[in-house]
Amino acid sequence: MPRVNADALGDHGSAARGHGPTETEPAMIEDPLRPLVERARRGDVEAWARLYHELIAPITRHLRYLTGDADSAEDLAQETFARAMVDLPSFVGRSRFSTWLHGVALNAARRHWRKRRNGQRAFAQLTAIAIVREANAQGEPEQAAIQRRRAAALYELLQTLPEPLREAFILRDLEAIPLPEVAALLGISAGNVAVRASRARARIREGLARRGLLTG
């Protein structure tokens, strides 16, 4: 199973093995969290705590998408931040900090998958739960039942996708990470990311259509 290619982002650490910045590497990109990151790099505990509180929820959600298990996601989120704290001095800012952290989390999930290779769960269980909750909140029993069936079908279909398609779909469609950053995370071209995500969407739409559950 391939590792996240954070070298392509110009940052390294637990997400990948890197060799530090060079004059030929791309310049740092704008990141609203950069001031906090710089303070944290200098040992500011309060700044690190603020980064943690800012990002723990999206990172945990990301890991729930990837593992399909809330308890594992919470444990892996803590592991992600622990590794990120150790590797923070190697983060040089050629990606958004949140994207770099997603890479650390993805590698943590991959280590988790290797340990549970014979018992992997679907990636998008949280998506199914969210759909059901939204349907229930509408207070329309018939619509809620349709949404529950659609959520169950989506959950099943995502389990059938090859891992490369699942990863591209989750990062692009569920996490809405920009295409170039997904390409850097996965170590493939932006074109390949787009192709994988498109194939995943097509398979999901086809599966939902066969079940009479395609909307829009």
Domain count, the chain: 2
pLDDT (0 to 100) of residue 123:
44
Instruction: Based on the fold, state whether residues 179 and 202 are members of the same structural domain.
Output: yes
Instruction: Based on the fold, state whether residues 91 and 162 are members of the same structural domain.
Output: no
The span from the CA of 193 to the CA of 18, in Å, is 22
Per-residue pLDDT reduced to its tens digit, 66-118 = 777 788 899 999 999 999 999 998 888 878 999 999 989 988 988 887 776 54
For residue 162, CA distances in Å to 12, 73, 141, 209 come to 27, 21, 34, 20
pLDDT (0 to 100) of residue 125:
52
The residue to which tokens 């399909």 are assigned: 68
CATH number for the domain that contains residue 99: 1.10.1740.10
The overall average pLDDT reported for the chain is 77
Sites in the chain below the pLDDT cut of 50: 1-25, 118-124, 126
Instruction: Based on the fold, state whether residues 113 and 180 are members of the same structural domain.
Output: no
For residue 81, CA distances in Å to 12, 36, 118, 171 come to 15, 15, 27, 19
pLDDT (0 to 100) of residue 211:
84
pTM for the structure as a whole: 0.59
pLDDT (0 to 100) of residue 62:
86
pLDDT (0 to 100) of residue 213:
80
Question: 72: domain range?
Answer: 1-121
The span from the CA of 51 to the CA of 99, in Å, is 13
